[in-house]
Structure 1
Amino acid sequence: MGDDLGLGGVTVTEIIAGYGVSGVRTVRTTASEADRTCLVEATEGHFVLKISPWPGGGATMQAALLAHVAGHDPELPVPRLLTDTDGRAVTRHGDSAVFVMTKCPGSSLETAVLTGPLVDRIAQVQAGLIAALADLAPAAARVPTEQEWCLDSMLGYAPLAEQHLDTGLGAFVADVVADFRTRVVPVRDGLPHQVLHADFNLSNLLVTGDRVTGVIDFGDAVHAPRVYDVAVTTCYLALALGSLTHPLVDRYVATVTSLVGLDPVEVSLVPALALTRLAMVLVWGREVAARHPERAGYALRYDGLAVALATTVQHESVPVLEYGGTPS
């Protein structure tokens, strides 16, 4: 496709040249939830150009997070931020904010076969990222304490269930929200909080074999209880494997718990929080698709898996588990 994307009369080729990248061969857009994302192939390699509405709070946040992670743990497989000739990471073009980063190699986790070693590596990379972000003040990177996909938001989405779900799934979501109110809300403020990536889903992890080669899309970062990060990953692994009680899900939780140092209260909340994310995939995913039909395919990419997993949970009457194997 062409690279004129309505950026104040400036082409992608011209913008990325300002970041020191020349010899552009191809430019193509790819699906994303909010920002526009362009994949650029050039003689120097492959790059990603992110475009968001000016004043670009989301772009500024993502750029700040990438810079912070690179400075704290250069070995983590996250994109590397580029700066222009004036040393700026985020630049304005028309009514858009733009930043450029390297493209991580690998294929999305949703195309991979999950194995024990790969699950271990996911836990290791996630623990490393949690550690790298632990000392970052949210205001320094403009990280919010609330956002659409933060687990706390499900409390506000509960009324949408009757609009989007049948009676059975609606009852499932109601039970999940009630459990969140009962188990999570009373202890939430006392949990360890920090800045989180908050969206270790199957699309945002890139893998090659049993290696994690990329953690992408920091656009849903939030300052929240750190166990939320673990619960989100637990949910998506369960979606891929078809069960919250799959041995590889249990292996992931045990490994990341040890590496991060989650306390017993945090660990006890993982199942309820993972189910909360599952409820969000069902309810908020469908709401986003209804509000933005042009993004429906992306918003609903996990809907079928979520329906199947929720149905399994209902039919099995899965109890709340203390990870490690003993029902509570």
Structure 2
Amino acid sequence: MPHSENIEQPQSLSLVNQRPSLSASTAAEWLARDWGFQMDVRALESERDQNWMASVDGEPRLVLKVANAGEDPAVLELQQVMLARARAAGLPCPEVVHTRSCGSTASWDGNLGWVITALPGRKLADEPLPSTDLWNHLGTVLGRLAIVLAEVEHPAAHRWLQWDVVNAEEVLATYRSSIVGARRGEIADAVLAQFRDLVVPVIDDLPRSLIHNDANDHNILVQGDRVSGLIDFGDALHTVTVNELAIACSYAMLGRAEPREVAQAITRGYEAQRELSQLEREVLPVLIRTRLAMSVSISAYQQTLEPDNPYLRISEQPAWDLLERLMEETADGHD
């Protein structure tokens, strides 16, 4: 796939081996020194950075986010701009908490960190029986976010990222050798072939804008039939707009009895805010499968770097199961 001339590819496709490794005591001390909060902290799951939930009497209040050593500080600024714009539009996103010196970030022994408010609710991944109303509201939130972010321009948004769908060919090909099992390899190859045949020829015709780019079921908080939080903007970038919807659908469909009905409900909510073009509707199913294939391929590679990190396997088996089902249904003429 061609890349924009102003995007420089990193030497490695993964920043996992540059993740910060602060202790809980250090995180608590940092929070007290620069933000003035005395709180208990516990580590949260993370792929590239390090996150700490800060609580008072067991009640979550704040999240200390420690950036990956390889992360461009401008990307942190991008995330904070996005959060501010989303909150101003009434969307359920965290608020940036400034330091005692009114800064948006602080440093500790070479690490760069920032703090946001903790939001209510539990992860969508922990919701046993999400309702159709919840799926619809998720789509509504993402559709509204698409409208808000379409007006945001930031130089850090134009970057190379392995989670960007426009890099799917390169990512899937690079990590193909990390996939274990003949059947899984066949599925990954078939998804890549579909992406090349159906998306690559039209990808330059698809609308592009700044998107969250990681609305998975661990980055969405819910309360009842409502989305109460959209968190972790660390993968945000300027790319194919409809892929925001594809990402959300791909993870929401995991483990569901009727995954296509889930995707349809989310899409209805999204289109109530931002109507899709005919081309976007045509490529959406392929983008959903492509995201799933990228997820399991990247996970397979990252497990070779960190075999003991459970977060890297969190959606692996359900994703393979869903991919196989979707590919079989596609072969039968259902898409």
- What TM-score comes out, normalization by structure 2 length? 0.85
Say if 2:122 and 2:222, in contact at 8 Å, map to a contact too. Answer: yes
Report runs of 4+ in structure 1 exceeding 6 Å deviation.
none
1:148-167 → structure 2 map (5 Å cutoff) = 148-159=162-173, 160-167=175-182
What is residue 280 of structure 1 aligned with on the other side?
294
Indicate which of 256, 268, 272 corresponds to 1:241.
256
CA distance in 2 between counterparts of 1:307 and 1:207 reads: 25
The alignment's C-alpha RMSD in Å is 2.4
What is residue 264 of structure 1 aligned with on the other side?
278
1:130 aligns with 2:146: yes
1:70-89 → structure 2 map (5 Å cutoff) = 70=87, 72-73=88-89, 75-89=90-104
1:183-202 → structure 2 map (5 Å cutoff) = 183-202=198-217
Say if 1:242 and 1:305, in contact at 8 Å, map to a contact too. Answer: no
C-alpha offsets along residues 157-193 of structure 1, whole Å, 9 cap, x if unaligned? 3333243132222222112111111221122122211
Say if 2:165 and 2:240, in contact at 8 Å, map to a contact too. Answer: no
SS in 1 for 2:61: strand
- What is the letter of the counterpart of residue 241 of structure 2? R
CA distance in 1 between counterparts of 2:38 and 2:159 reads: 41
CA distance in 1 between counterparts of 2:283 and 2:144 reads: 21
1:29 aligns with 2:46: no
Say if 2:139 and 2:265, in contact at 8 Å, map to a contact too. Answer: no
Note the C-alpha offset of 1:146. Answer: 2.5
What is residue 322 of structure 2 aligned with on the other side?
309
- What is the letter of the counterpart of residue 34 of structure 1? R
1:293 aligns with 2:307: yes
In the alignment, structure 1 segments of 5+ residues that lack a partner are 322-326
Say if 1:53 and 1:95, in contact at 8 Å, map to a contact too. Answer: no
CA distance in 2 between counterparts of 1:19 and 1:69 reads: 26
Note the C-alpha offset of 1:99. Answer: 0.2
> Judging changes above 3 Å, is the alpha-carbon distance between structure 1 residues 268 and 317 closer, same or farther for their aligned structure 2 residues?
closer
Indicate which of 216, 220, 227 corresponds to 2:242.
227
Say if 1:51 and 1:59, in contact at 8 Å, map to a contact too. Answer: no
- What TM-score comes out, normalization by structure 1 length? 0.86
C-alpha offsets along residues 80-105 of structure 1, whole Å, 9 cap, x if unaligned? 10112332111222211100000011
1:62 aligns with 2:79: yes
CA distance in 1 between counterparts of 2:237 and 2:52 reads: 24
User: Which structure exhibits the higher relative contact order, with contacts defined as CA atoms closer than 8 Å and separated by 6 or more residues?
Assistant: 2
What is residue 324 of structure 1 aligned with on the other side?
none
What is residue 183 of structure 2 aligned with on the other side?
168
How many residue pairs get aligned? The number is 310
Note the C-alpha offset of 1:11. Answer: 3.9
Note the C-alpha offset of 1:207. Answer: 0.5
1:118 aligns with 2:134: yes
What is residue 195 of structure 2 aligned with on the other side?
180
